[in-house]
Structure 1
Amino acid sequence: MPNPLRSLLLAAFFISSLPCIAAGTQDRPGEVVATQGSATITFADIDAFAERIPEGKRPGFFSSPQRIETMMISLLLQRQLANEARKLGIDKDPALAKDGKAPTDEVLSAARVERFKADLVLPDFSKLAQEQYIAHKDAYAIPADITVQNVLVTIKDRGDGKTPMDRTEQIAAAKAIAEKVAAEATAHPDQFDALVDTYSDDPDKATGRGRVEDAGNATKYAKEFAAASRALQNPGDISPVTRTTYGFHVIKLLERKPAQQRSFAEVKDEIIKRLRDEYVEKEVRFHTDSLRNLPIDANEQAVASLRSRYGALAEVPAAAGAKP
């Protein structure tokens, strides 16, 4: 769907290249730049916005149609919400005043959104919460707690120091060591501590002896490592050689606490809160979108002057046949 404001901005930026547009707006702070719904934005409003941008960055900001579009949409929406707040008398709340001054549009628009949320009539989410629980039971389970011990064999040059090993040789050497560790661990799982001491390249092995808690958590550890840890079922089980970005691993299961399914009663409040938050967010978005999507009536020449008003140089089109 065509964006009329963006089309106007692009056209206005062409007009702004004309010398006659480059001056004459500095003394017209009350001139209307755009209107939408109940909102009217003037040069004074945009001046106030520009004051928040470091002076050296203003020319670059106002040379971008996309940034100006975003700014105008934001200011118009903020003004519409602030006007709703004024209509509801929210602006009379002394808590919103600062240093004895009337609350700004920014403060009022935020207060309007909070009032909108407070005034919403919320449905009963209990039935929907139960349906969500039944449909996604796994999401409300406490995952298995897995503790393992790990020998890490990193990929590095293990040669004699005279002839460097290439990458393929380094990988082969590391894998061979890991396979030896796996064979010895499978035969003598009770001697895994000694294997950690002898073969592991883990820098923390002296203190942790290769111990890893919550090892099945793929958000904390490499996914291959987490998957190999989850595959181990009984204490003492040894994993096959597993490769990650860190190198090759041999993993021994120390302890596995089974996953626990939480009851609906345990998670009901949690689900209802999430459903309620999603509902409120959706309703707020629907309301603000209804304001944001109202037609915008923009003053083309005023928009065109924004570049020069805030320090961006107007680009004069080159004459026909002129050389750069």
Structure 2
Amino acid sequence: MDETPDVTPEGIERAAGRIGGYIRRTPVIEAEPGLYFKLEFLQHAGSFKPRGAFNRILSAREAGALPEAGVIAASGGNHGLAVAHAARTLGIRAEIFVPEVTAAVKVAGLRALGAEVHQTGSLYADARTASLKRAAETGALDVHAYDQPETVTGQATLGRELLGQVPDLGAVLVAVGGGGLAAGIAAALGGTGRVVAVEPERSPTLREALSHGSPVDVEVGGVAADALGASRLGSIAFGLLSGVRSLLVPDEAIVTARRELWQRYRIAVEPAGATAYAALLTGAHRPAPGEPTVIILCGANTDPADLQARPS
């Protein structure tokens, strides 16, 4: 495992070196003057998740703690795809538990990657409970979707990349479910000053945690629930995001943002991948004059068939 349990600059540097041969350095484009898109949906397995998955698994292998039973994970879909991809790349076995709401395209992708897939329960939390029971039975390595130091440190490598890709980096808008990506970016950028967390109104795990002073269980749902449907913010994320600006966007805005990304830029992302952009379109986030704004387009495991052209 990482030498310290915390997500530190040193740990982020080690993670970048550890996973560098296994992930893509995804591009940034200037979509409009002063507006940048980080195209993380071009990452292996279609989302940012391989960063954390590889870091967790490779850290265990370095420590001689990778069991013969392989790895196990609970996921709304994207984390499972990342773990399955990492396992196939490294030649180990993967078992993935997902809730019944997981998009069919993600379930099909998991099976195509050779993972043993179990669909159980209506929420991520149900899949998580089932995966922990199974891990206890088999001895497989648990790869958490967002609340392990190795996972968050792996996600932080995205923020590390941004520092070298966008001059005079300003606000960074990032979608939040369990909080691992936003937390990692905040750690890489040295705090929450430039991070803007964007959540669906129907899955406000961060907003509720900030309101209560600690992570709490939240009823989740909505169009992005298969990727942003964690029912409780991670404890690591809470520690790193305690001062972050949190914005909520409705499902309708997420749907519109997804279609606008396709119409304007021919970018096809899943609802979770469009959530941060929705904050810009609705005016929930208004960039300061002259401040470069970065939108993290974090996932594209979706069926693009519903990205219909608008009537003329």
Give the TM-score range, shorter chain. Answer: under 0.3
Q: Under a length normalisation based on structure 1, what TM-score does the superposition of the two structures give?
A: 0.19
**Structure whose residues are more often helix by fraction:** 1
Whose radius of gyration is greater, 1 or 2? 1
Q: Under a length normalisation based on structure 2, what TM-score does the superposition of the two structures give?
A: 0.20
- Larger relative CO (CA 8 A, sep 6+): 1 or 2? 1
